Structure 1
Amino acid sequence: MSKTLVQPIGQKRLTNVAVVRLKKKGIRFEIACYKNKVLSWRSGIEKDLDEVLQSHTVYSNVSKGVLAKSKDLASAFETDDHTKICLEILEKGELQVAGKERESQLSSQFRDIATIVMQKTINPETQRPYTISMIERLMHEIHFAVDPHNSSKKQALEVIRELQKHFPIKRSPMRLRLDVPEQNCPSLLEKLNTWNTSIVSKDESGTQLSVICEIEPGYFRDCDALVRNLQGRLEILAVSVHVEGDTQVDQYDDHEDMPSSGPKEATDSLLQLSEKMQKQNISTKDGSSEGEVKQNKCSTCNAVVGDTKQYREHFKSEWHKHNLKRKTRQLPPLTAEECMADMEIGDSKADLKDYSF
C-alpha cells in the first residue's frame, strides 16, 4: 500500500501589515501594525493602541514570524514588557513601506511642498504666483529631494530660500493692520519705511492711527515686537497677498511642456514670459473696439463671465477662488451650483473635525 508523501509548505506570516523597525544596541526589533495607523498615532489622531498594533508582540523579523529573544529585549530596553517596548518602537522606529508605496508618498509630498511654495511666492515683476507645474520644474532644476521625516512646510521654506538664489522669485507679502497710539506714529512709520513696506491705507481716528500695510514675511516678528513696544495691536489680514486674477497663471499654462533648462536659461525664460504677458495685457486693452462688448471667458472655471467689469468681479468670487484651488490639485472645474455644494460639504467636514477627539 503506497503512502502519500506530505511535503512541507513554506509560509510567510504577517506579510500584509505595516512594519515599524528599530535598531538598538546592534539588534533589530520590529512590530506589526495596521496600515495607515502609524502616522495617525504619531500625529495624535489615533489614541487607541489596539487600533494601531496587530499584536503586543516584539519580533526580530515580522515577515517570517520570528519573535525577539527575551535576553535581547532585556539588554536593549531593560525590560521584558512587550507593550512598553512596542510603544518605544512605535515612537522612535522607522516605518517600513514597499518601494511603490514609498515612491507614491514621496511624489505626494513633493506635490504638497510645491503647492505651499506656489502659495507663498510671487513673480517680483508681475506680483502674481507661478503655476504649480512651473514651481515643480524649478524644484527639479535645483535637484530638490524630499525628506519624508520633515514637514512639508519646513521643506517648502527651505526650497524658497534655495530658489531665490537662482530664479526671479520672492516671498509674497503679508497684509497687516497695525493700530498704535497717535504719539507713537512717527516711530512706526519710520520703521515701516526702513523695511520698504507698502502702505495700503492710513486712518487716523481719535487718538489712534490704523495702518494697513503689506510687509515682507521676514520682518513679521520684528514688526510684532515693535507694535507691542509701542503699546499697539497687530492683526493679520492675509498671510500671502497676490494680485487678483489668474491671467498670469493661464498664460504659463501655454508653456507647460517646455523642456528643462539650466538656472540661467530658466531665468531668461521666466523673464520672457513676464514681458510677453505684459505686452498681451496692453494689446488686449488697446485692441477692444468701442461699439463691441467683448465676452470674456475664465479658463479656470471654464465659463463665460460677461464684460470686463463682470470679468474682474468674477476673480473676486468664491466660485473662482474655489476652482483655482482645485486647479492646483489638477481637479476639473465646478459650476457655480456645484461649487456652493462642495464648499458646504467642506465646511461640514471642518466642523466635524473641530469637534472630534
Structure 2
Amino acid sequence: MSRTLVQPVGQKRLTNVAVVRLRKHGQRFEIACFPNKVLSWRTRVEKDIDEVLQSHTVYSNVSKGVLAKSKDLLKAFSTDDHTAICLEILDKGELQVSGKEREAQLSSQFHEIATIVMDKTINPETRRPYTITMIERLMHDVHFAVDPNLTSKEQALKVIKKLTEHFPIKRAPLRVRFTAPKSKFASLTEKLEEWNANVISKDESGSQPSVVCEIEPSILRSCEERLKDVQGRVEVLSVSAHAEGGSSVDQYENTEESQSVPAVEIDPVARIGEAMQKQSISSEPENPGQGQGKQQRRCKECDVLVEDKLYREHCKSGWHKHNYTRHKNGLPPLSQEECLK
C-alpha cells in the first residue's frame, strides 16, 4: 500500500497570527503577534512583551516565513536589534485583520458610540434619554459610518450635531454648582439669567453662597471665564442631567397616538416613534372588546386594522405595497381613497 510522500519545507510558516506591518524606506517589515493582544498592548492593558510577540523576529513576509535582511534593518531603523525594532513596529505599524474581525470591531465601536450619544442627549419635550435601540436606528437613518481612526467620543459629538438637524434631540444639560462670595452673589444671579440657567436650588447661608442649576454644555467655558469677575467658581455635578425615570417605547407610541399629525408633514416626535415601531410587530388589536371576537392585526405601513384572515390578501394589494415604499422613505401612509387617486 502506497503512502503519500511529504516533502519537507525549509521555510518556517506561521499561521493563525496577528500580523503588524510597517513600511519604512521603501521596505516592508512585519512581526508575528498573538491574536487579540496587539490592541491590549497599545491600550497598556498588556505589559509583558512576550505575551504579545510570537517571536522576537522581524520578517519581510510573515505568511511565508521570510526574514528581513540585516542591511535593510540597519538602513531603516539604524539598528539590527530585533526586539527594539519589534517594539517600534508594534507601536507604529498597521494591524492586519480579516474581514470578519474588522466587521466585529466596527460593530463594537458603533454600539459604543451609540451608548455615548444616549448618555449625552435627551428628548427636549420629555427631558428623558432615548433608548439605545432608537439611537442606533437614528444613526442608521442619517447614514453614519464608523471611522476607525477617530475616537468614539469624537465621533459621538459629530453624530449628536448631525442628529439635532433632523430629529428632536439635543445635548443633555450640565448640572453645576456656582459659588461666589456673599457680596458678589447678586452679580452671579444676574449672570445666571443671561445664561438661561435652570435653577434647581440655592444655598445662601454662610460666607460662600451657592446655587445649583442646569446650563448648556457649550457655554461652560465662557461661564468659567466670566465667573472670574465675581471671584466665583464652578463645579460640575453631572455631565448629563436627565429627568427622573427612564425612557420607554410606550411613551413615544402614546405621544404619537395623542397628537394630530398633518397630512403634509409629520411631527418629528412621531417620526421617531414610527422608527422605533419598525423594531417590533404588534399583532393585537388596540381595543380587544371591539369586533366581537374577530381577530385583528394592525398594518404598520397603512396604519389600519385588518381582520386576521384578510391580512395576507391586504399585504398583496397595491395599496399596501405603495404605503410600504412610502414607509421606508419616511413618508406618512395614504388612505385607500388617496392611493386610488
Provide the TM-score with structure 2 as the length reference. 0.70
Q: Secondary structure at the residue paired with 1:201?
A: strand
In the other structure, the counterpart of 1:192 is 192
Distance in 1 separating the partners of 2:131 and 2:51: 41
Residue 157, structure 1, aligned to residue 162, structure 2: no
Distance in 2 separating the partners of 1:254 and 1:96: 49
Q: Superposition RMSD on alpha carbons, in Å? A: 2.8
Q: Secondary structure at the residue paired with 1:220?
A: helix
Residue 41, structure 1, aligned to residue 24, structure 2: no
Q: Secondary structure at the residue paired with 2:168?
A: coil
Mapping of residues 204-243 of structure 1, within 5 Å = 204-243=204-243
Mapping of residues 258-273 of structure 1, within 5 Å = 268-271=267-270
Contact 2:177–2:235 (8 Å) recurs in 1: yes
Larger Cα-atom Rg: 2
In the other structure, the counterpart of 2:133 is 133
Distance in 2 separating the partners of 1:249 and 1:240: 21
Structure 1 letter corresponding to 2:139: M
Structure 2 letter corresponding to 1:135: I
Structure 2 letter corresponding to 1:116: I
In the other structure, the counterpart of 1:340 is none
Distance in 2 separating the partners of 1:4 and 1:201: 88
In the other structure, the counterpart of 1:6 is 5
- Shift of the 51–194 alpha-carbon distance from structure 1 to 2, 3 Å rule, reads same
Structure 2 letter corresponding to 1:81: D
Q: Secondary structure at the residue paired with 1:149?
A: coil
Contact 1:23–1:29 (8 Å) recurs in 2: yes
- Shift of the 167–26 alpha-carbon distance from structure 1 to 2, 3 Å rule, reads farther
- Shift of the 41–3 alpha-carbon distance from structure 1 to 2, 3 Å rule, reads closer
- Shift of the 273–145 alpha-carbon distance from structure 1 to 2, 3 Å rule, reads closer
In the other structure, the counterpart of 1:20 is 20
Mapping of residues 1-357 of structure 1, within 5 Å = 6-8=5-7, 13-252=13-252, 268-271=267-270
Structure 1 letter corresponding to 2:205: S
Listed one character per residue, the Cα deviations across residues 179-218 of structure 1 (whole Å, up to 9, x for unaligned) are 1112222332232222211111122113322100001111
- Shift of the 230–41 alpha-carbon distance from structure 1 to 2, 3 Å rule, reads farther
Listed one character per residue, the Cα deviations across residues 75-120 of structure 1 (whole Å, up to 9, x for unaligned) are 2222211111111111111111111111011101100100110110
Offset at residue 9 of structure 1 (A): 6.5
Structure 2 letter corresponding to 1:6: L
Q: State percent identity of aligned pairs.
A: 65
Contact 2:58–2:68 (8 Å) recurs in 1: yes
- Shift of the 7–117 alpha-carbon distance from structure 1 to 2, 3 Å rule, reads same
Contact 2:30–2:62 (8 Å) recurs in 1: yes
**Count of aligned residue pairs for this structure pair:** 265
Contact 1:127–1:243 (8 Å) recurs in 2: yes
Contact 1:30–1:60 (8 Å) recurs in 2: yes
Q: Which structure is higher in helix share?
A: 1
- Shift of the 125–28 alpha-carbon distance from structure 1 to 2, 3 Å rule, reads same
Listed one character per residue, the Cα deviations across residues 301-350 of structure 1 (whole Å, up to 9, x for unaligned) are xxxxxxxxxxxxxxxxxxxxxxxxxxxxxxxxxxxxxxxxxxxxxxxxxx
Offset at residue 49 of structure 1 (A): 1.4
Q: Secondary structure at the residue paired with 1:29?
A: strand
Structure 1 letter corresponding to 2:269: L
In the other structure, the counterpart of 2:323 is none
Contact 1:131–1:252 (8 Å) recurs in 2: no
- Shift of the 174–81 alpha-carbon distance from structure 1 to 2, 3 Å rule, reads same
9-18 vs 205-214, which moves further: 9-18
Contact 1:70–1:80 (8 Å) recurs in 2: yes
Distance in 2 separating the partners of 1:199 and 1:144: 36
Distance in 2 separating the partners of 1:26 and 1:191: 61
Q: Secondary structure at the residue paired with 2:209?
A: strand
Contact 1:131–1:253 (8 Å) recurs in 2: no
Q: Secondary structure at the residue paired with 1:205?
A: coil
Gaps of 5+ in 2: 256-263, 274-341
- Shift of the 253–104 alpha-carbon distance from structure 1 to 2, 3 Å rule, reads farther
- Shift of the 269–221 alpha-carbon distance from structure 1 to 2, 3 Å rule, reads closer
- Shift of the 229–95 alpha-carbon distance from structure 1 to 2, 3 Å rule, reads farther
Distance in 2 separating the partners of 1:254 and 1:79: 70
Contact 1:163–1:169 (8 Å) recurs in 2: yes
Q: Secondary structure at the residue paired with 1:208?
A: coil
Gaps of 5+ in 1: 256-263, 275-357
Contact 1:73–1:79 (8 Å) recurs in 2: yes
Offset at residue 51 of structure 1 (A): 1.7
- Shift of the 206–4 alpha-carbon distance from structure 1 to 2, 3 Å rule, reads closer
Distance in 2 separating the partners of 1:29 and 1:254: 61
Contact 1:20–1:30 (8 Å) recurs in 2: yes
Listed one character per residue, the Cα deviations across residues 255-308 of structure 1 (whole Å, up to 9, x for unaligned) are 9xxxxxxxx98x74524667xxxxxxxxxxxxxxxxxxxxxxxxxxxxxxxxxx
